[in-house]
Amino acid sequence: MNIGVIGLGYWGPNLVRNFQSQPDAEVWMTDADPARLQAAQRRFPGVRAADSVADLLRQVDAVALATPLSTHHALGLQALEAGCHLLVEKPFTDSVAAAQELIDLARHKGRVLMVDHTFLYTGAVRKLRELQEQGELGRLLYFDSVRINLGLFQHDTNVIWDLAPHDISICDHLIGLEPLAVQASGARHYSAQEDLAYLTVFYPDQLMAHFHVNWIAPVKVRRILVGGDRRMVVYDDMEPSEKLKVYDKGVELTRPEEIWQTLVSYRTGDMHAPRLDGGEALTGMVKDFLHCIATGAEPLCGPAHALRVTRVLEAAERSLREGGRPVEIQP
Amino acid sequence: MNIGVIGLGYWGPNLVRNFQSQPDAEVWMTDADPARLQAAQRRFPGVRAADSVADLLRQVDAVALATPLSTHHALGLQALEAGCHLLVEKPFTDSVAAAQELIDLARHKGRVLMVDHTFLYTGAVRKLRELQEQGELGRLLYFDSVRINLGLFQHDTNVIWDLAPHDISICDHLIGLEPLAVQASGARHYSAQEDLAYLTVFYPDQLMAHFHVNWIAPVKVRRILVGGDRRMVVYDDMEPSEKLKVYDKGVELTRPEEIWQTLVSYRTGDMHAPRLDGGEALTGMVKDFLHCIATGAEPLCGPAHALRVTRVLEAAERSLREGGRPVEIQP
Amino acid sequence: MNIGVIGLGYWGPNLVRNFQSQPDAEVWMTDADPARLQAAQRRFPGVRAADSVADLLRQVDAVALATPLSTHHALGLQALEAGCHLLVEKPFTDSVAAAQELIDLARHKGRVLMVDHTFLYTGAVRKLRELQEQGELGRLLYFDSVRINLGLFQHDTNVIWDLAPHDISICDHLIGLEPLAVQASGARHYSAQEDLAYLTVFYPDQLMAHFHVNWIAPVKVRRILVGGDRRMVVYDDMEPSEKLKVYDKGVELTRPEEIWQTLVSYRTGDMHAPRLDGGEALTGMVKDFLHCIATGAEPLCGPAHALRVTRVLEAAERSLREGGRPVEIQP
Amino acid sequence: MNIGVIGLGYWGPNLVRNFQSQPDAEVWMTDADPARLQAAQRRFPGVRAADSVADLLRQVDAVALATPLSTHHALGLQALEAGCHLLVEKPFTDSVAAAQELIDLARHKGRVLMVDHTFLYTGAVRKLRELQEQGELGRLLYFDSVRINLGLFQHDTNVIWDLAPHDISICDHLIGLEPLAVQASGARHYSAQEDLAYLTVFYPDQLMAHFHVNWIAPVKVRRILVGGDRRMVVYDDMEPSEKLKVYDKGVELTRPEEIWQTLVSYRTGDMHAPRLDGGEALTGMVKDFLHCIATGAEPLCGPAHALRVTRVLEAAERSLREGGRPVEIQP
């Protein structure tokens, strides 16, 4: 299969490297900046360069878009129109309408459409999902994520569009429900874009997800808490090992039928850090894309997932612009 | 001086113990529950017991209230009317109106009114304040607090009124500005009261404070980040030593006059964990109360501070009840 | 039962408090320093004071010795001669000969003799022992302990006699074998006694135990590694929770019959932090002492255990004095 | 300059990569295993391959040896005889005699001889050395190193020769004194070689260094404590940032003239984590080698340093073989 990577900035070369290492994959690449393309040619002598997107589209069956967010919609349409399967770097698009248009065209053309939410392919998130599916966590109560450190400022977007897609994607993957509403607040200290923000997503039955994203924090934190009524999980991505800790802890209600007499007690049991599969997550993502093309299977981060994530991002943006009021989501 | 402690539940005995160890302080105590009063008499044989609040008020010059929140207003008025100086356990009152009434009466009677925000007397918070006053932190950008663990559920209040006063008080002590608005969201999983909540407080000039309080978290976290444009601080109260870490980190803007050309760069310098004064914070609080009575000095957590904290709590409550919309604060 | 505590310095009052809280225990106490005795009387109004050891011995059935090490032998003999059961604060005695004499006399008199190795009664050590007894750890490979921090210097002993008994006791409790030899090295920087030292104990079958004790370290570390060929454990006593972490990790040998072809591979599985029983360890020790007196049962830290620990300490001292040469132990 | 890398196993390709990135360096490489050489040629198309060591030596001015320890002596002699400057991978040689022979030949031939003790070029060790040279640490009291984890077993050497050279080199770099004696103990659980060991090095004035190296530990620890009488340092190489923590802590002796009256007190001040230079340490090492060739300057890990490290290793080996007795070092 011929695969073309468009955009060779920060992330594109990682896609090139991973596609190149797949058997039976012939890789093409291009970039609007000739200097970047030349640098990539030196680094990947076995990969073919195309002078333009149009040129590349004539050669390939599938396209991976690693260009700036503002170009995803137009380039994605162009690739699908050319009959290509489409992998888009996160964030997917800058609006729900653009996302929907790409999804509709992919369906109409019978092509695979997938967004690169790489974290879904990590050993930690796969194990977390497995625990949830097996009922180990019980009913989910909350999802709390902190993703902060110093930098890297993006010039064309704010900290929510830059960092939150990772965590919203993990949250959606775990919860799998349509969100009801989103509330967001942020501050702009160093540019016209928010450099720190808090995001709350409301689901049915009091289930809440909350995200703290910050480009100007002195320490690097990548931590997710998942509270279930059977077990609770801390996923700390900065830990070199034991990234996932499962706590057999919880709250017991005695005599809940008599609400005024309810006695709350605590259950504290063992903690368990399951062994996680290693391997580069991006490799798993690339394999999944190729597998879905070959078999017609549904990718982990296919249209439905990508659309829900985009809805949350768009609603968060609106909440930010409207002074932090909660914004309902129309599914 | 004669000091009376009213309420001998969880916190009251700590006040008794600390007042008792002060020179020239004669301590009285009472509780509506005779069994509790007897238990306290066994524990503190040198402290005098009063049969009722009225009885106690006839004996003392100053009163410390460690009763449930709902009683603070009435008992506080009663103590002030009796001519006593007044120390109130946090949270101060359940409404701004009640707080204002107590403050007005204290001023009218010429009595000291103070709220027991014990954390302000810890070595860590005193050092933090000192750093801020000396300009070490520069202009404040954000205040982010996480105070979570499993339990202890309160029956008559939610997690915000229970846990957030500590952090709102620390934040106000550091920032010292009137907040503009408050937004809060929460979930009620185990009772009719929120057991987890997020609270955002908006100040002028994009300065934001955010608070995460949670009774159903698997791990105990007590961590505050303070971002300044000169230095940033992590205050981790779970650390046995080095609770305060000061990072010489920040963002540099080059050519800020040409907004489209702005280059953001990062400054990363040393980290510094200053030695903190030890000593029990509650002892410092008790000494400050007695000192203010003796000298007329202004306590660290006097009326102005207590009122601002109460305004934030009341606005957070309203935001919770109104679906998470931001609520403006009228100073 | 009447119990007498001799010595009211640092640890004695803890023994008084714990014995006093046991049902049916009448507690007496004495100290060679009248000021200390008076201070203890103020703190424990319900405990009877004796003017001298002889006076106390006339009143009690059992004695707990919390005096300096150099007095253990003489006072222990005196107590046993008076017909008392005997609990001795660690370290037991300053020589194997003295230990043996106390043990022989206790056996002759039919009295319980026990050393206060409090750590054996912690939830962590009890769970560790349980794992080992159930075969969870497999064959033991090594025991490695680090117990370091700044201070507290003892004037009459070195850092080995002060700190290492805790860890040697835990090690012996787990391993339960006669040691073959001991090697020790140390340095004396601030007094005529070693303020830091390393101790190695050799057991059969290449099993090794190593102890690092240090009074002049900048950080407080209390960490034990136990390597077994099935599982390995890290016991970190500074962790507020999850003190014990059990790693399903190890080494696999393939084709061990062909030694030159042996392939070593690694097995890495889950990590598990079992819930530990809470409760004050000293209370468990006190209950065990009373239980053994009442029933004739063997205490956890009875004569055999205490003797092996003393043998290691004495041999370590000799190794230190002889330039660090390994010293064989004669059982 | 033409540089030849001999040995393309685990470490050799890192040397190739680093030499290749230096300006004016023409790199050659060879390996006794043709398959390895071919793999390296695919990875480094710009580097020239030589069929044999003799072939390579005809082309180059300097040689880097990354072959097994047992070959260092013979290949090193061959390279020096051919007139080449010589960089040897650690450990330098398997005996002091072999080390001395290489050093003598290098001096005779006027060639640079250097051992790749990469850690000396890390930001952390450079800062540590700087602190010591500036007198910040005061008089050194002890050096304590722990370097443990699961694997990687070496087949032709034990854990001391594999892991300890890193730490002995750092220690020697800091202390710069001739050691007096060495004592070592170890256990062999999975092969004929020690898989865990403890090593003590004695210096004048009670200064002690201790090393714990272990291939069968469940956790990865890379931690060095350095105790000075002015400040103490923890160097934790597993920390992603703040690897070096400098504690203003120590012991104060009052009235030291009256030894029986000496009062020991503790000084506890700030902790400080200096910013460390980044950059790959191996690059610094390679630059130093080229710089010394060009200028005749003395490398950080030149003959004197390498010889002292080898003396410690050889003495440790002898102590291991002789049952753990301390072995004196003859400078």
Contact B273 D270 (CB under 8 A): yes
Report the residue of chain A nearest C275, measured CA to CA: A270
- Residues counted in chain B: 331
Report the residue of chain C nearest A247, measured CA to CA: C273
Per-residue pLDDT averaged across D32-55, rounded? 93
pLDDT bucket at A256, cuts 50 / 70 / 90: low
Within a 10 A sphere around the Cβ of B263, how many other Cβ atoms? 12
Contact D216 C141 (CB under 8 A): yes
Same domain for B82 and B213, yes or no, is no
Please return the burial class of C110, using the count of CB atoms within 10 Å of its CB with bins 0-12, 13-18 and 19+. exposed
Residue A190 Cα distances to A154, B246, C27, C50, C119, angstroms = 11, 21, 69, 73, 54
Minimal C-alpha gap between D182 and chain C (Å):
10
Same domain for A196 and A106, yes or no, is no
User: Which tens digit of pLDDT belongs to each residue from A311-322?
Assistant: 999 999 999 999
Report the residue of chain D nearest B268, measured CA to CA: D275
Same domain for A317 and A269, yes or no, is yes
- What is the predicted pLDDT for the residue at D253? 75
Residues A210, A224: Cα–Cα separation, whole Å: 10
Structure tokens at B230: 């000169």
Residue of A127, A136, A231, A242 to mutate, interface with C, max C Cβ within 10 Å: A242
Has residue B86 been placed in a domain? yes
Contact B313, B168 (CB under 8 A): yes
Contact pairs from chain C to chain D, CB under 8 Å: 145
Has residue A63 been placed in a domain? yes
Same domain for A214 and A321, yes or no, is yes
Minimal C-alpha gap between D88 and chain C (Å):
27
Contact B85, B62 (CB under 8 A): yes
Give, as one character, the DSSP assignment of residue D232: E
Contact C273 A275 (CB under 8 A): no
Residues C326, C314: Cα–Cα separation, whole Å: 12
Which residue among C51, C76, C111 closes a domain?
A: C111
Structure tokens at B42: 């066994």
Q: Which residue among C248, C270, C275 places its CB closest to the CB of A269?
A: C275
Same domain for B89 and B150, yes or no, is no
Has residue B105 been placed in a domain? yes
Has residue C302 been placed in a domain? no
Chains touching D (3+ CB pairs < 8 Å):
A, B, C
Residues D30, D7: Cα–Cα separation, whole Å: 6
Residues C15, C287: Cα–Cα separation, whole Å: 11
Contact B122, B283 (CB under 8 A): no
Chain centroid to CA A216 = 22
Rg over alpha carbons for chain B, rounded to the nearest Å, is 21
Contact A270 C271 (CB under 8 A): no
Contact B220 C238 (CB under 8 A): no
Which residues, other chains included, contact C304 with Cβ-Cβ below 8 Å and sequence gap of 6+? none
Minimal C-alpha gap between A249 and chain B (Å):
6
Same domain for C219 and C274, yes or no, is yes
Residues from chain D that touch B269, judged by Cβ atoms under 8 A, are 275
- What is the predicted pLDDT for the residue at D258? 52
Has residue B49 been placed in a domain? yes
Q: How many CA atoms lie within 13 A of C276 on its CB side?
A: 27
Structure tokens at A164: 């939150």
Same domain for D316 and D202, yes or no, is yes
Give, as one character, the DSSP assignment of residue A121: G
CATH of the domain at C166: 3.30.360.10
- What is the predicted pLDDT for the residue at D262? 55
- What is the predicted pLDDT for the residue at D80? 98
Q: Are strands A244-254 and A263-273 parallel, antiparallel or unpaired?
A: antiparallel
- What is the predicted pLDDT for the residue at A278? 87
Which residue among B52, B83, B111 closes a domain?
A: B111
Per-residue pLDDT averaged across A280-287, rounded? 95
Has residue C168 been placed in a domain? yes
* Helix axes C281-295 and C12-20, enclosed angle (nearest 10): 60
- What is the predicted pLDDT for the residue at D110? 97
Residue D312 has pLDDT above 80, yes or no: yes
Contact pairs from chain A to chain C, CB under 8 Å: 24
Per-residue pLDDT averaged across D214-227, rounded? 96
pTM score of the predicted model: 0.94
Q: Are strands D2-6 and D26-30 parallel, antiparallel or unpaired?
A: parallel
Contact A272 C273 (CB under 8 A): yes
- What is the predicted pLDDT for the residue at B255? 60
Which residues, other chains included, contact C97 with Cβ-Cβ below 8 Å and sequence gap of 6+? none
* Omega of the bond leading into C91 within 30 degrees of 0 (cis): yes
Residues A122, C133: Cα–Cα separation, whole Å: 37
Same domain for D93 and D183, yes or no, is no
Structure tokens at B84: 């006593």
- What is the predicted pLDDT for the residue at C262? 55
Contact B273 D274 (CB under 8 A): no
User: Which tens digit of pLDDT belongs to each residue from C235-262?
Assistant: 999 998 899 999 999 888 766 555 554 5
pLDDT bucket at D154, cuts 50 / 70 / 90: confident
Which residue among A93, A111, A129 closes a domain?
A: A111
Minimal C-alpha gap between D249 and chain B (Å):
10
Same domain for C79 and C145, yes or no, is no
Residues D209, D175: Cα–Cα separation, whole Å: 10
Contact C275 A242 (CB under 8 A): no
Residue of C231, C239, C249, C275 to mutate, interface with A, max A Cβ within 10 Å: C275
- What is the predicted pLDDT for the residue at A157? 87
Same domain for B130 and B205, yes or no, is yes
Residues C104, B95: Cα–Cα separation, whole Å: 73
Residues D27, D35: Cα–Cα separation, whole Å: 19
Structure tokens at D12: 């050799």
- What is the predicted pLDDT for the residue at B216? 94
Contact B238 C238 (CB under 8 A): no
Helix, strand and coil percent figures for chain A, each rounded to 5 = 35, 30, 35
Instruction: Tell me which residue range forms the domain holding B71.
Output: 2-111
Minimal C-alpha gap between B83 and chain C (Å):
36
Contact D238 A240 (CB under 8 A): yes
Dihedral angle of Cα B233, B234, B236, B237, to the nearest 10 degrees: 20
Same domain for A68 and A131, yes or no, is no
Cα maximum dimension of chain C = 74
Give all strands (DSSP E) within A181-262, no chain letters: 181-187, 196-202, 208-214, 216-228, 232-236, 244-254
Contact B238 C240 (CB under 8 A): yes
pLDDT bucket at A266, cuts 50 / 70 / 90: confident
pLDDT bucket at D139, cuts 50 / 70 / 90: very high
Residues in chain C with pLDDT < 70? 152-153, 254-263
Same domain for B50 and B179, yes or no, is no
Residues B130, B136: Cα–Cα separation, whole Å: 9
Nearest in space to B208 (alpha carbons), one of A184, A62, D22: A184
Print pLDDT tens along chain B (331 aa).
999 999 999 899 999 999 999 988 999 999 999 999 999 998 898 899 999 999 999 999 999 999 999 999 999 999 999 999 999 999 999 999 999 999 999 999 999 999 999 999 999 999 999 999 999 999 999 999 999 999 766 777 899 999 999 999 999 999 999 999 999 999 999 888 999 999 999 999 999 999 999 999 999 999 999 999 999 999 999 998 899 999 999 888 766 555 554 567 788 899 999 999 988 999 999 999 999 999 999 999 999 999 999 999 999 999 999 999 999 998 7
Has residue D261 been placed in a domain? no
- What is the predicted pLDDT for the residue at B258? 53
Has residue B300 been placed in a domain? no
Residue of B236, B239, B247, B275 to mutate, interface with D, max D Cβ within 10 Å: B275
- Paired with D202 in beta bridges are D181, D208
Contact D269 B248 (CB under 8 A): no
Q: How many domains does chain A have?
A: 2
Residues B65, B79: Cα–Cα separation, whole Å: 9
Chains touching A (3+ CB pairs < 8 Å):
B, C, D
